[in-house]
């Protein structure tokens, strides 16, 4: 394996709470019921799908223009909440693991559907450790489609079979396997049957790859 492609949220850090607060604030402003149970359905899906799930309880139809405004408002709220993000929010052992993989000559990339991936990496202080970032600004299809991982591999100038994808969501593991990648599951995805490897901690990657 010459390259490692990381999902961002849930793997290198967790911004789930910030997403929840932003969607909750938007739903409240629209008078739409929204709680953590509904929020759990948003994991691993695109922002478009997330909004449709929220609007199921709206009781009315919204135009494409109104939805675009909702996306804008939600993203502004989310970025406001993200302003509190810092190095302290990195997953345990993440920084050390990334440095060790780089010293071992591995190419590193992020493959995330988030449109704020670069901003988050900068807030976490690890933006300079990655050779490439494939994010929601550069893809048309969300996981379980493999597009984001295929783009990351392309940016690393590697073939899928030369890369390991690290994911915490079932849809991410499915995307990795669909793209021909070796899939390492962590967090919520450890029970995902198609995963090639199950990790309890990120630093296990060092022993696996170095």
Specify whether 28 is catalytic: no
Specify whether 7 is catalytic: yes
Q: Give me the half-sphere count of Cα atoms (radius 13 Å) on the Cβ side of residue 107.
A: 19
Helices (H), 134-182: 147-156, 170-178
Residue 93, CA distances (Å) to 77, 132, 203 in order: 29, 21, 6
User: How far is C-alpha 137 from the geometric centre of its chain's CA atoms?
Assistant: 13
Q: What angle do CA 34, 14, 202 make, to 5 degrees?
A: 145
> Of the residues 9, 89, 135, 145, which is catalytic?
9
Q: Tokens representing 123? A: 């807030």
Residues carrying an active site annotation = 7, 9
């Amino acid at each position: 394996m010459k390259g490692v492609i990381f999902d961002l949220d849930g793997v290198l850090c967790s911004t789930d709470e910030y997403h929840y607060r932003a969607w909750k604030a938007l739903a409240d402003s629209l008078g739409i019921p929204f709680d953590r149970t509904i929020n759990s359905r948003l994991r691993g899906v695109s922002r478009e799908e997330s909004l449709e799930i929220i609007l199921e309880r709206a009781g009315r139809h919204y135009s494409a223009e109104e939805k675009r405004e909702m996306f804008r408002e939600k993203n502004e709220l989310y970025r406001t909440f993200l302003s509190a993000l810092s190095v302290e929010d990195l997953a345990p052992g993440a920084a050390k693991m990334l440095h060790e993989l780089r010293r071992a000559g591995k190419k590193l990339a992020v493959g995330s559907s988030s449109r704020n991936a670069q901003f988050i990496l900068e807030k976490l202080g690890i933006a300079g450790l990655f050779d490439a970032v494939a994010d929601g600004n550069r893809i048309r299809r969300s996981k379980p489609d493999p597009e984001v991982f295929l783009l990351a591999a392309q940016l690393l100038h590697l073939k899928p079979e030369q890369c390991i994808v690290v994911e915490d969501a079932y849809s991410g593991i499915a995307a990795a396997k669909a793209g021909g990648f070796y899939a390492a599951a962590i967090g919520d995805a450890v029970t995902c049957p198609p995963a090639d490897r199950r990790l309890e901690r990120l630093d296990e990657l060092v022993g696996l790859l170095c």
